[in-house]
Amino acid sequence: MNQLASLIQQDRPLFSPVPGIYSTLPDAADQRYDRYAKMYDRMIGSRLYNRLMWGTHPAAYTQFAAQAVGTAGQLHLDAGCGSLVSTATVYANTKRVCVLTDISLGMLQQAQKRLLQHTHTQPDNIIFLQADVRDLPFRPDTFSTVGSFGMFHIFADVAAFAAELQTYLTETGTLYFSSLVAESARAQRMLMRLNKMGEVGGVWSAAQLAAQLPAATITTKGAMAYGRIDHASAFKKAD
């Protein structure tokens, strides 16, 4: 608790709604993801779903997260960690202090359970925090790496979201992100449908995503774009 409290702005509340999970959201309203936690796990963890729908593979998600968490540095933030369906092994195997945030307590509980399957006791270096990634409670310049995996398609203003996450990076830190992109007709149809349902904020190709994030280096595997923004280079490009 003390370590987490030292990362958080003084005027933000901090409490523990359930053992092993902290929260900065006393009035958490948007809990629709709680209902999806189990279904989400089955879907996103499915190789068949990922291959057919998005032309990709869950192992690619794990590999990208391992790259972010494997970067030398102090603190790591995961903005929208979900249930750790693709990242539990990454967090089970790191010695870095990682703050894993999600708005959904249900997702965080699922994440906690999944991590325990690998570690058997909750590791001291992994902190679960219920928080809204659109209004994170941290002090600026705190994290050496920020990862936001499978999150960038959720918000319509992706540039504003990236800029918000960058404020929590140290000067030499790196933001790692991934986003579903409309790189096939099937992915485009599915993203449009999810957009109408309010589950996805933006439907864009990898090139359109890159145009919104000029400081990013982006590669694509199937309908998933993987990107990184080095904080220092983002400053340079903005000059």
Strands 126-130 and 98-102: parallel
Shortest distance, position 75 Cβ to ligand SAM, whole Å: 18
Shortest distance, position 217 Cβ to ligand SAM, whole Å: 20
Q: Is the dihedral of CA 214, 215, 217, 223 positive or negative?
A: negative
C-beta of 141 vs 199, nearer to ligand SAM: 199
Amino acid at 237: K
| Beta bridge partners of residue 147, listed in sequence order | 78, 176
Name which of residues 116 to 155 contact ligand SAM (CB under 6 A).
Answer: 132-134, 149-151, 154
Shortest distance, position 239 Cβ to ligand SAM, whole Å: 31
Which of these segments, 77-85, 90-98, 157-165, 225-233, binds ligand SAM (CB under 6 A)? Answer: 77-85
203 touches ligand SAM (CB under 6 A)? no
Burial class (CB in 10 A: 0-12, 13-18, 19+), 68: buried
**What is the Cα–Cα distance from 130 to 136, expressed in whole angstroms?**
10
Which of these segments, 4-12, 98-106, 182-190, 222-230, binds ligand SAM (CB under 6 A)? Answer: 98-106
C-beta of 114 vs 231, nearer to ligand SAM: 114
CA distances from 67 to 5, 37, 98, 182 (A): 27, 25, 14, 24
**What is the Cα–Cα distance from 81 to 100, expressed in whole angstroms?**
6
C-beta of 116 vs 232, nearer to ligand SAM: 116
The one among 85, 100, 200, 223 contacting ligand SAM by CB under 6 A: 85
80 touches ligand SAM (CB under 6 A)? yes
Shortest distance, position 134 Cβ to ligand SAM, whole Å: 5
DSSP 116-166: HHHHSS--TTEEEEE--TTS--BPSS-EEEEEETT-TTTSS-HHHHHHHHH
DSSP 161-205: HHHHHHTTEEEEEEEEEEEE---SHHHHHHHHHHHHTTS-S----
C-beta of 93 vs 172, nearer to ligand SAM: 93
Name which of residues 22 to 51 contact ligand SAM (CB under 6 A).
Answer: 33, 44
The one among 107, 169, 218, 223 contacting ligand SAM by CB under 6 A: 107
Q: Tell me if 213 sits within 8 A of 227, measured CB to CB.
A: yes
Closest chain position to ligand SAM (CB): 82
Enumerate binding residues for ligand SAM (CB under 6 A): 33, 44, 61, 80-82, 85-86, 102-104, 107, 132-134, 149-151, 154
